[in-house]
Amino acid sequence: MQTETKIKLLEKFFSGSISDPELKSLFVWLNSEQGNQEYEELADAIWTSGQFDAIEKVDSAKLYSKISARLQEKQLSSRKPLMISLRKAVAIFILGLVLPLTYFTLLNPQDSNQQVVYLKESLSNEKVRKMSLSDGTVVWLLSGSEITYPSDFTKSKYRKVNVRGEAFFKVAKDSLRPFILDLGEIGLKVVGTSFNVMNFEDEDHVSVVLKSGQVDLFKGDFRQNKQLVRIKPGELADYQKKESQFHIQKVEVVKYISWIDGTLVFRNDPLAEVLKKLGRWYNVEIEINDPSVVDFPFTATIKNENLDQIIDLLEFSTPFKYSKLKTDDGTKLMIMKNS
């Protein structure tokens, strides 16, 4: 978008004369990866030049809030009931329990010194649970994820932990007892580091993103002579289950770990992947009725919005129709072609 176009859209927005398509263009620009920075630079130039003297200067966060509020007003005023007919669908099922569930199981009752605590969490009122292990390691666990860990790490030469779902680890340093994370087909070994792991059974891949320190990945169970794949800070290791291969690339780490602070960041991500993430975040079932949804690129930063606000955002920024339904198991979000 040209600078002159951006200035014209801002002028129309502040004067209240902006059209719906123009409002959408303004929203998409501000919500893009460089939108906030571009607006701040442009705003400094505009107000310094005196071009917007009659208008109070606002920062990008306040402008985003104003635009979001305007969009929500328009969505609420124009929303109509939608009749859903039966059709063939590609469904993505996001499973979650209604109530938080935490329980403990002794996996090795014959050896009281080697008791393993099994903690399973499926949270209804919390999206993220922060917890500390006995060695000082801190874990952020995403709703619906599971973690298994020893109650006492000092009884073994390794600190062995198992995760299903998504979690962020800040591992306490202990050179005498390496930290081993079991992810099913693969695992990883660290001493003291911080990283994010995504390991869902219904996904065809396992991913590890390293924020700091060093991670060594391996296939199968850990052994001292095991061949390792090492990643460095700022890298993502993606293990494709069908290929049994690791693929490593440089990434924007904050995009993968912002969820621990309650923020979801998407940057030109395929909409199907975005919807999976939102399904887990809001504990809803996702059903896609249009295959063109799968690869549609989506960019947004989401924080503190409820599900209805997210639906408004999706309807405004994508060419699809969304419908929220109540089911016996909870809530379903259906996505279809916007005819």
Burial class (CB in 10 A: 0-12, 13-18, 19+), 117: middle
250 and 233 in a common domain: yes
212 and 329 in a common domain: no
Structural domain includes residue 267: yes
247 and 173 in a common domain: yes
132 and 243 in a common domain: yes
138 and 221 in a common domain: yes
Tell me the per-residue pLDDT of 38-53, one tens digit each, with 9 for 90 and over. Answer: 777 777 777 677 666 6
Question: Given pLDDT bands bounded at 50, 70 and 90, which one contains residue 17?
Answer: confident
Cα–Cα dist 215/264, whole Å: 24
Structural domain includes residue 34: yes
Question: Given pLDDT bands bounded at 50, 70 and 90, which one contains residue 113?
Answer: very low
Burial class (CB in 10 A: 0-12, 13-18, 19+), 35: buried
The answer to whether the beta carbons of residues 294 and 250 sit under 8 Å apart is no
Cα–Cα dist 215/197, whole Å: 11
Give the CATH number, domain containing residue 251.
2.60.120.1440
Give the CATH number, domain containing residue 316.
3.55.50.30
Count: domains in the chain = 3
The answer to whether the beta carbons of residues 131 and 139 sit under 8 Å apart is yes
231 and 123 in a common domain: yes
Which one has a higher pLDDT value, 99 or 277? 277
Structural domain includes residue 319: yes
248 and 155 in a common domain: yes
- φ, ψ at 63 (rounded to 5°): -65, -45
Structural domain includes residue 92: no
210 and 279 in a common domain: no
**SS3 of residue 28 by DSSP:** helix
Instruction: Indicate whether 114 pLDDT > 50.
Output: no
- φ, ψ at 131 (rounded to 5°): -145, 160
199 and 178 in a common domain: yes
* 24-33, 106-115, 144-153, 154-163: segment of lowest average pLDDT: 106-115
Cα–Cα dist 155/178, whole Å: 13
318 and 191 in a common domain: no
Q: Which of 234, 255, 276 is the last residue of a domain?
A: 255
Give CA separation, 262 vs 101, 115, 250, 259, 270, in Å.
21, 33, 24, 5, 21
Cα–Cα dist 97/121, whole Å: 9
Which tokens in the block code for residue 260?
Answer: 């621990």
202 and 149 in a common domain: yes
Which residue type does 216 have? D
Burial class (CB in 10 A: 0-12, 13-18, 19+), 305: middle
155 and 230 in a common domain: yes
Tell me the per-residue pLDDT of 269-302, one tens digit each, with 9 for 90 and over. Answer: 999 999 999 998 988 899 999 888 889 999 999 9
**Helices 271-282 and 307-317, axial angle in degrees (round to 10):** 170
Q: Look up the domain containing 42 and give its range.
A: 1-49
Percent of the chain, pLDDT > 70?
75
pTM of full prediction above 0.75 = no
